[in-house]
């Protein structure tokens, strides 16, 4: 009886280690210091394509949508690297000093890191919300030879319009003379974003940069998204030569309850484009 108990106890301890064996914490030099990241690779594969995963505004690399997608990708033999942007999660930097422009720099540095990983056969990129805007602009800058395909999940191109209107998460301000910072609340806590974020957002060439990408792109959006209306994904479709939109009926901005559905759609799209 004692032997059976000890064996069962040993199995319980080993299971989590086995499940996490292909996830590795890494550190990457970013725009505002070190970026905390997780590299997740398929078990037993020496060669694999890789997806860069970009989280949204005030979120982090452990957002359920991203971790669910990382697991779905791994099941299909595709690696991923997800990271905290500067000022988010466990990365260096001050959230108040964050801008979309320096997040783009962060993502490009992650691309440089990923391109040097042994066994990587191709790189694609996916992002949620503001991370979707970043992904679209990085793909536009780097081009289809470096970024093979793009998935944008509820891409928040509304951020430019909001900055021009003087609205941030429901908090209003003078758009012509933005304050030093704007303080706002989210379910994740209280935040302050700096004046530079607003000023750069007001002139951010989102679609102008994104349209330079000539590869395949997929926009996934919920029709119940009141933070970023799904019409912004339709606008992305207009600028892409090879773009398509998948609408999730009544899904909210974070795809709560629809994470598995979204992950399967995105992973299949990448698998089809990485053959």
pLDDT (tens digit per residue) in 203-250: 999 999 999 999 999 999 999 999 999 999 999 999 999 999 999 999
End-to-end CA distance of the chain: 51
Can you give the pLDDT at residue 2? 41
Can you give the pLDDT at residue 12? 39
Q: Which two tokens stand for residue 28?
A: 């990457």
pLDDT in tens, 128-139: 999 999 999 999
Question: Residue 36's beta-bridge partner residues?
Answer: 27
Task: Report residue 4's pLDDT band, with 50, 70 and 90 as the boundaries.
Answer: very low
C-alpha closest to that of 129 among 150, 90, 155: 155
C-alpha closest to that of 133 among 171, 98, 160, 167: 160
C-alpha closest to that of 82 among 40, 124, 49: 40
C-alpha closest to that of 139 among 148, 131, 130, 183: 148
Task: Report residue 15's pLDDT band, with 50, 70 and 90 as the boundaries.
Answer: very low
DSSP state string for 41-86: --TT-SSEEEEEEE--TT--TT-HHHHHHHHHHHHTT-EEEEEPPT
C-alpha closest to that of 4 among 30, 34, 12: 12
CA distances in angstroms from 165 to 101, 206, 229, listed in the order given: 20, 17, 16
Instruction: Look at residue 98 and tell me whether its pLDDT is greater than 50.
Output: yes
* 16: number of Cβ within 10 Å: 9
Task: Report residue 8's pLDDT band, with 50, 70 and 90 as the boundaries.
Answer: very low
d(C-alpha 131, C-alpha 154), whole Å:
9
C-alpha closest to that of 126 among 31, 265, 275: 265
Q: Bigger pLDDT: 16 or 188?
A: 188
- Specify whether the CB–CB gap between 134 and 103 falls below 8 A: yes
- Specify whether the CB–CB gap between 30 and 107 falls below 8 A: no
d(C-alpha 194, C-alpha 197), whole Å:
6
Domain 24-158+205-273 annotated CATH 3.40.50.300: no
Task: Report residue 19's pLDDT band, with 50, 70 and 90 as the boundaries.
Answer: very low
Instruction: Find how far residue 162's CA is from the centre of its chain.
Output: 20
pLDDT in tens, 110-122: 999 999 999 999 9
Instruction: Look at residue 16 and tell me whether its pLDDT is greater than 60.
Output: no
Three-class DSSP category at 128: strand
Give domain limits for the chain.
Answer: 24-158+205-273
* 74: number of Cβ within 10 Å: 20
DSSP 147: -
The enclosing H or E element of 129 equals none
Instruction: Look at residue 187 and tell me whether its pLDDT is greater than 50.
Output: yes
- Across all residues in the chain, what is the average pLDDT? 93
Model confidence, pTM: 0.92
Instruction: Look at residue 14 and tell me whether its pLDDT is greater than 60.
Output: no
d(C-alpha 143, C-alpha 166), whole Å:
33
- Specify whether the CB–CB gap between 223 and 212 falls below 8 A: no
The enclosing H or E element of 173 equals none
pLDDT in tens, 21-54: 489 999 999 988 999 999 999 999 999 999 999 9
Instruction: Look at residue 108 and tell me whether its pLDDT is greater than 80.
Output: yes
């Amino acid at each position: 009886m004692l032997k059976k108990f000890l064996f069962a106890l040993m199995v319980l301890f080993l299971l989590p280690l086995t499940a996490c064996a292909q996830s590795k914490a890494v550190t990457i030099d970013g725009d505002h210091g070190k970026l905390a990241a997780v590299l997740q690779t398929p078990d037993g594969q020496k060669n694999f394509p890789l997806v860069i995963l970009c989280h949204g505004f005030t979120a982090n690399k452990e957002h359920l949508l991203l971790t669910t997608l990382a697991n779905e990708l791994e099941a299909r033999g595709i690696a991923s690297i997800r990271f905290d942007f500067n000022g988010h999660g466990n990365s260096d930097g001050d959230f108040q000093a964050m801008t979309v422009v320096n997040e783009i720099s962060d993502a490009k540095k992650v691309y440089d890191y990923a391109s040097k990983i042994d066994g990587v056969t191709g790189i694609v990129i996916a992002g949620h919300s503001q991370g979707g805007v970043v992904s679209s602009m990085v793909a536009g800058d780097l081009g289809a030879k470096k970024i093979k395909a793009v998935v944008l999940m509820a891409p928040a191109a509304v951020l430019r319009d909001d900055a021009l209107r003087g609205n941030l998460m429901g908090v209003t301000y003078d758009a012509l003379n933005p304050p030093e910072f704007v303080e706002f609340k989210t379910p994740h806590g209280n935040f302050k974003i700096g004046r530079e974020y607003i000023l750069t957002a007001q002139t951010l060439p989102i679609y102008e940069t994104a349209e330079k990408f000539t590869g395949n792109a997929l926009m996934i959006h919920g029709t119940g998204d009141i933070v970023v209306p799904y019409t912004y994904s339709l606008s992305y479709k207009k600028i892409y030569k090879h773009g398509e939109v998948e609408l999730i009926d009544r899904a909210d901005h974070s795809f709560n309850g629809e994470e598995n559905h979204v992950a399967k759609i995105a992973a299949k799209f990448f698998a089809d484009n990485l053959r």
